[in-house]
Amino acid sequence: MAQRIVIENAAIATVDARDTEHASGHVVVADDVIESVGAGPAPEGLTDVVRRIDASGHLVTPGLVNTHHHFYQWITRGLATDHNLFDWLVALYPTWARIDEQMTYAAARGSLAMMARGGVTTAMDHHYVFPKGSGDLSGSIIRAARETGVRFTLARGSMDRSEKDGGLPPDFAVETLDGALAATEATVRAHHDASFGAMTQVAVAPCSPFSVSTELLKQGAELARRLGVRLHTHGSETVEEEKFCHELFGMGPTDYFESTGWLGEDVWMAHCVHMNDSDIDAFARTRTGVAHCPSSNARLAAGIARVPDMLAAGVPVGLGVDGTASNESGELHTELRNALLVNRLGPHREAALTARQALRLGTYGGAQVLGRAAEIGSLEPGKLADLVLWKLDTLAHASIADPVAALVLGAAAPVTLSLVGGRAVVEDGRLLHVDEDAIARSTRDEARRLARIAAGH
């Protein structure tokens, strides 16, 4: 017998293909999936209702999907605050290269808690720093995600181009080509779940063109396709990166990615700020996805990604927090607004993005980019019950009639309830499965320990 949760009297934004909304409607959850969504009260005569929620004053949306992050940076926030990307990387790599399993676990818990509290139901972590002898970093990150209760993709990163090969990371912070490929394959085999409703997936994710060799990109793509998993990396983030690619490879980043097998519907890339028309056409033609990270791009003065042009061309676009060393807030719900605002500062001005398009980027767009659009990203019968009840009847939002405008343009809305596969993860703004205060203490302790080690005492 299915156990049902009935949510009624809420405004609902389904983010389905027609952007169906209900001013007052219901959602019925049966076990881990959505059974029905519609206007008015729930159907009568439902059996096995374990919980009935009067969601007056709330907006229900699909859970937010984060498509780019670096959890370990939770313990190196607020550093190198006035640098561009390359200077920031050079300033931080020596510290990052000292992380260990205990630090990575604490930082992952901090990153996950912050996002989950703000309505993220599917998280991802692009982890690419694996110092020798640092322990089981991937395992510790996956454990943190499981404990928090959110759905999770680990993008198992790698770097093999250090300072001695013209890269930015110090020599001791990188892996060998064969070592990185073997460890990535082992992580996929140990943790990737391809089934409907999977809580843990793994992607193959060399860090960026300027920190990995051409061979690692090529063989990484072959490995992912042999194992049937997705591919992720950073692309076209800054003008310096474009220059680097032209100098080293005689072509721009998108052409370089294409030459190494890195365009395709199984690939998504973070940033994609510096793209010309033919780059966008190549992404659209190959259905390569983009993780748009507006706050991080602004923090590092990287530029404004051409999201309206990408969407018009048919490129799948999701949103990303990015690592919290370049987006200290660590929240995704505020990125809905920042995506809209930043893109309106670009050439399309007020026509750049609507509030509903911003919500779509953070939900369905993210699901597409992670290859999970059949399971999550919209409220439709048969899909997983990953959803959020946003409280919009307090001082911050009560005077805004349009709930989607309130969510996207207003202050960060409190989360009354968030469900992942029908299981509550946040209730009245508090995380249910982890202790927020204990996480705050351990992340402070680990940040201090890392700072001491990095300073050499």
Contacts with Zn ion by CB under 5 A lie at: 270, 322
Q: How far apart, in whole angstroms, are the C-alpha atoms of residue 259 and residue 257?
A: 5
* Closest by Cα among 168, 243, 177 to 208: 168
Distance of CA 452 to the CA centre of its chain: 30
- According to DSSP, the β-strands at 120-127 and 49-54 are unpaired
Question: Which residue, 242 or 322, has its beta carbon nearer to Zn ion?
Answer: 322
Q: What is the DSSP code (8-state) at residue 198?
A: -
| CA atoms within 13 Å, Cβ hemisphere of 218 | 6
Question: Which residue, 138 or 295, has its beta carbon nearer to Zn ion?
Answer: 295
Question: Which residue, 274 or 397, has its beta carbon nearer to Zn ion?
Answer: 274
Give least dist CB 387 to Zn ion, A: 27
Q: Which residue is nearest to Zn ion (CB)?
A: 322
Question: Which residue, 208 or 368, has its beta carbon nearer to Zn ion?
Answer: 208
Question: Which residue, 273 or 311, has its beta carbon nearer to Zn ion?
Answer: 273
* Closest by Cα among 5, 7, 119 to 55: 7
Give least dist CB 446 to Zn ion, A: 21
Q: Could you tell me where the DSSP H helices lie in 68-213? A: 85-96, 101-117, 137-148, 177-191
For residue 253 the two structure tokens come to 């980043």
Give least dist CB 69 to Zn ion, A: 7
In DSSP notation, 174-192 reads: ---HHHHHHHHHHHHHHH-
Give least dist CB 265 to Zn ion, A: 21
Question: Which residue, 270 or 407, has its beta carbon nearer to Zn ion?
Answer: 270
Q: What is the DSSP code (8-state) at residue 287?
A: T
Give least dist CB 321 to Zn ion, A: 9
CA-to-CA separations, 10 to 6, 23, 389, 457, in angstroms, rounded = 11, 7, 8, 55
Give least dist CB 237 to Zn ion, A: 8
**Is-contact 18 10, C-beta < 8 A?**
no
Give least dist CB 291 to Zn ion, A: 8
Question: Which residue, 25 or 157, has its beta carbon nearer to Zn ion?
Answer: 157
CA-to-CA separations, 225 to 116, 216, 231, 320, 366, in angstroms, rounded = 31, 14, 9, 24, 21
**Is-contact 423 3, C-beta < 8 A?**
no
Give least dist CB 350 to Zn ion, A: 29
Give least dist CB 92 to Zn ion, A: 12
Q: How far apart, in whole angstroms, are the C-alpha atoms of residue 120 and residue 425?
A: 10
Question: Which residue, 21 or 322, has its beta carbon nearer to Zn ion?
Answer: 322
Question: Which residue, 204 or 270, has its beta carbon nearer to Zn ion?
Answer: 270
Q: Could you tell me where the DSSP H helices lie in 154-276? A: 177-191, 214-227, 239-249, 253-259
